[in-house]
Each structure stands twice: as structure tokens, then as C-alpha cells.
Amino acid sequence: MKWAVFMDRDGTVNEEVGYLDDPAGLRLLPGAGEAIRRLNAARVPVLLVTNQSAIARGYLPAARLQAVHQELARQLAAHGAHIDHIYHCPHHPDENCSCRKPQPGMLQQAAAEHGIELADSFIVGDKGTDLEAGRRVGCRTVLVLTGYGPDERRRLETAGPRPDFVARDLSEAVEWILTRQREEAGDD
């Protein structure tokens, strides 16, 4: 079974701007393209999991979301990087679906579709709810200090649970993940 890196989108890969409904507003965070390219080169599946309740709220037509994701792919390609699959939850929080993070539904779907061992995988995000989705299915958790990360670190220090690692940004998160993985492979 393969392992994967699950990634939040806003505040983790690209700048957090509230509801992103315009491809022209998409900005990759510094180093994000290179970090994803490193995972691509290591043949680690990169699976994006993003809550998009703006769809249910009527602010974001599904076609606009696709346009934003095409732009994301285009900007990543300029860095020689790609995301293997993007999963999004279109539901309103009140719908109590099984895919809106912190629920792990998107991770479970991805695991089934890509043959991923969740207990050997990682999740990277800028919010406790991202990490909780991974924790519920046995992934290791990395909080990045971009987006909401600084506020979330303070909150999690008292409210818990603490992330397995706190990284300055996606680049440091990927470095930690690849190092851990190498060490564990060497332990066998």
C-alpha cells in the first residue's frame, strides 16, 4: 500500500483570502510549488482536501471552483509540480455531511480510490480542523504557520490536541515528512 500527503488548500498551498471565487485572486504561497514538486519527484501522491461551503451558500458556482483549480494547476505546472487529485466538500456546515473537515470523508474516499494506507500518511493544514480530519483516520498531522496557522497554534497549545509537527510553511512540512519517512523506511 502507498502512503500519501493530504493537503489543505487555502492558507496552506495558496494565500488565504476568504472565499476565493476568482482564478485571478489565486496566489501560491512562497515555496509551495517547489515543495509539491519534491513530493512528485518522490512519487508520493499529493491529494488536496478542501472545504468549499461557498458552493452551498450560493457564492461559488461549481464552474468557478473548477476555474480556480485549473488556475492552481497552471501555476503549479510553472514550478514543474502537480496535484494528483483535488477533493472538495461543497456542503453547508448545517448539512452535517461526512466530508466536511474535521470529518474524514474526503480522506477515506481518496484512500479507496488511490489505494492509500491512511495510517502511513500525513495531513498538512493551517487549521485544527484539517489536522483533526487526518487524526481521525490515523494520519500524522503537520500544522503550517501560514494562513490561520499562527492563531491555530496558540489555540491548540491550550485546547489541544497538539500537532505532530509545526512547520513554518509547506516547504518545511514536506522536508519533515520526507525525512521521517526515510528514517522509518531505514528502521525496517
Q: Using CB under 5 A as the criterion, which residues of the chain lie in contact with Zn ion when the complex forms? A: 89, 91, 97, 99-100
- The answer to whether 8 is a known catalytic residue is yes
Non-local (6+) Cβ contacts of 58 within 8 A are none
Q: CB of residue 51 vs Mg ion: minimum separation in angstroms?
A: 8
C-alpha distances (whole Å) from 60 to each of 16, 31, 56, 111, 125 are 16, 28, 8, 27, 22
Give the shortest CB-138-to-Mg ion separation in angstroms: 21
Is position 11 an interface residue for Mg ion (rule: CB under 5 A)?
A: yes
Cell of 14: 495558496
Residue 152 interacts with Mg ion (CB under 5 A): yes or no: no
Q: How many CB atoms sit inside 10 A of residue 73's CB?
A: 13
Q: Which is nearer to Zn ion, 54 or 81 (CB)?
A: 54
Choose the contact partner of 126 out of Mg ion, Zn ion, none; CB within 5 to 8 A by kind.
Mg ion
Shortest distance, CB of residue 127 to Mg ion, whole angstroms?
5
User: Is 89 in a helix, a strand, or coil?
Assistant: strand
Residue 10 is among the residues annotated as catalytic for this protein: yes
167 φ/ψ angles, rounded to the nearest 5 degrees: -115, 145
Structural contact between residues 148 and 171, judged by C-beta atoms closer than 8 angstroms:
no
Partner from Zn ion, Mg ion, none binding residue 137, C-beta < 5-8 Å depending on class: none
Contact residues for Mg ion, defined by CB under 5 A: 8, 10-11, 126, 147
| Catalytic residue IDs | 8, 10
